[in-house]
Each structure stands twice: as C-alpha cells, then as structure tokens.
C-alpha cells in the first residue's frame, strides 16, 4: 500500500528513511558552519567578512567576471555587492578593467595581493574537502546497509566537521535516535 501521496515513504519507496535523512540535514548545517569557519577567522584579521570572501573567491577562480555575472552568482543586490567590492578595490585586492568588446562592463580581476590572500583561503577549504573525501568518517560500522549512499554522505559530512566537534554532534544526534523510540 504505497501511501503514494506526499513524498517520503520510509518504507518501500526508493527514497531514504526519514531518520537518517534528518541526520544529513543537521550534518549539512554543522559541516557548512565549520567549512566557512576557517576563512571567516582568517578574513576577520583583515577586517573582512564572509561577503568579501565570496567576492574574492569567484573573482579569483573566474578572472574577468563582470559585475552582472557576479550578481547572478551571489544572488545579492548590486548595492550589497558594491559595498564589499568597494572595500576590496580600495585595499587593492581587486582591480577593474574596462571591457574591450563592451566598454560599459567592468571586468574583475584579483591583484597580486588579492590572489595571494584568496589562494590562502582556498587552500584551507580545499584541504578540508579533500580530506573529507579521502577519509570519510565511518559512523555506522554496521556496514552492508548503504545501498542508498547514506553512509557515504554521512561520512563525508561528518569528516567536514571540525574533529573536536564531532563527538558533540554525534551525541546530539544519538539523543534524537533515543527519543524516537
């Protein structure tokens, strides 16, 4: 009797049991928190914030980006972008060049210092992700039950979390498991 209606049929549908997926939802929160935590701290020393990081990141990795493209990527208003972009340009981390085919465009590039700074930030984030891929945290040694790819996603996300925090996250989620019974 497929209760076909909504969506998450924990029973027989090809989809995930809800309990495990709930864990993934929370792991995503914790993983993302730590994922942006490193750059946040590094940039704070320069007086920059996460918004500056996002601009630096995309300009560094996609040199020659236009303002419009950047706005579309970041999904913020041009006023919001302009505030942080102005900081970065004034401090010489980003430079603008007038577009050659369309002189209205301001193509964005990192300066030497901007590239150095951003490479540093990227290095830290890439390292965290690469390690999480290489050494996912095996959480459920029950093996065998990963037809769906939960354990893989769970191991990856848990490995993205700061090691000292993992115990706290695990014991929190164990608490839900208990109260479900």
Q: Residues 117, 119, 124, CA angle at the centre, nearest 5°?
A: 105
Q: In the numeric block, which tokens belong to residue 107?
A: 């193509």
15, 44, 68, 138: which one binds a second copy (CB under 8 A): 15
Q: Measured between alpha carbons, how far is 61 from 94 in angstroms, rounded to an integer?
A: 13
CA dihedral 93, 65, 57, 26 (to 10 degrees): 150
156, 162, 166, 170: which one binds a second copy (CB under 8 A): 156
User: Which residues are bridge partners to 96 per DSSP?
Assistant: 108
Q: What spatial distance separates the first Cα and last Cα of the chain, rounded to whole Å?
A: 24
- Report DSSP letters for 44-79, one per residue: HTTT--HHHHHHHHHHHHSTTB-HHHHHHHHT--HH
Among residues 52 and 57, whose Cβ is nearest to a second copy? 57
The reply to whether 50 sits near a second copy by the rule CB under 8 A is no
Among residues 34 and 91, whose Cβ is nearest to a second copy? 34
Q: Is the dihedral of CA 72, 73, 77, 78 positive or negative?
A: negative
The reply to whether 93 sits near a second copy by the rule CB under 8 A is no
Min CB(71)–a second copy separation in Å: 13
36, 76, 95, 124: which one binds DNA (CB under 7 A): 76
- Let me know: does 15 contact 8? Beta carbons within 8 Å: yes
Among residues 41 and 83, whose Cβ is nearest to DNA? 83
27, 31, 51, 169: which one binds DNA (CB under 7 A): 51
The reply to whether 75 sits near a second copy by the rule CB under 8 A is yes
The reply to whether 20 sits near DNA by the rule CB under 7 A is no
- Let me know: does 109 contact 59? Beta carbons within 8 Å: yes
Q: Which does 91 bind (CB under 5 to 8 A by kind): a second copy, DNA, none?
A: none
What does the radius of gyration of the chain's CA atoms come to, in whole angstroms? 21
Q: Give residues in contact with a second copy (CB under 8 A).
A: 6-8, 14-16, 18, 21-22, 24-26, 28-29, 32-33, 35, 54, 57, 61-63, 72-73, 75, 122-123, 125-127, 129-131, 133-134, 136, 148-150, 152-153, 156, 168, 172, 175-176, 179
Q: Give residues in contact with DNA (CB under 7 A).
A: 47-52, 54, 66-68, 74-80, 82-86, 96, 98-99, 102-106
């Amino acid at each position: 009797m497929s209760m076909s209606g909504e969506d998450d049929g924990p029973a027989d549908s090809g989809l995930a049991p809800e309990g495990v997926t709930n864990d993934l939802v929370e792991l995503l929160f914790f993983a993302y928190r730590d994922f942006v935590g490193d750059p946040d701290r590094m940039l704070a020393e320069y007086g920059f914030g996460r918004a500056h990081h996002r601009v630096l990141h995309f300009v560094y990795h996609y040199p020659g980006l236009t303002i419009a493209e950047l706005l579309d990527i970041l999904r913020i208003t041009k006023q919001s972008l302009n505030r942080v972009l102005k900081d970065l340009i004034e401090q010489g981390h980003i430079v603008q060049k007038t577009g050659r085919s369309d002189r209205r465009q301001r193509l964005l590039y990192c300066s030497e210092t901007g590239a150095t700074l951003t490479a540093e930030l990227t290095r830290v984030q890439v390292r965290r992700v690469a390690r999480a891929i290489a050494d996912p945290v095996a959480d459920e040694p029950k093996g065998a039950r990963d037809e769906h790819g939960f354990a893989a996603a769970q191991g990856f996300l848990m490995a993205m979390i700061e090691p000292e925090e993992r115990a706290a996250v695990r014991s929190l989620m164990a608490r839900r498991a208990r109260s479900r019974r």
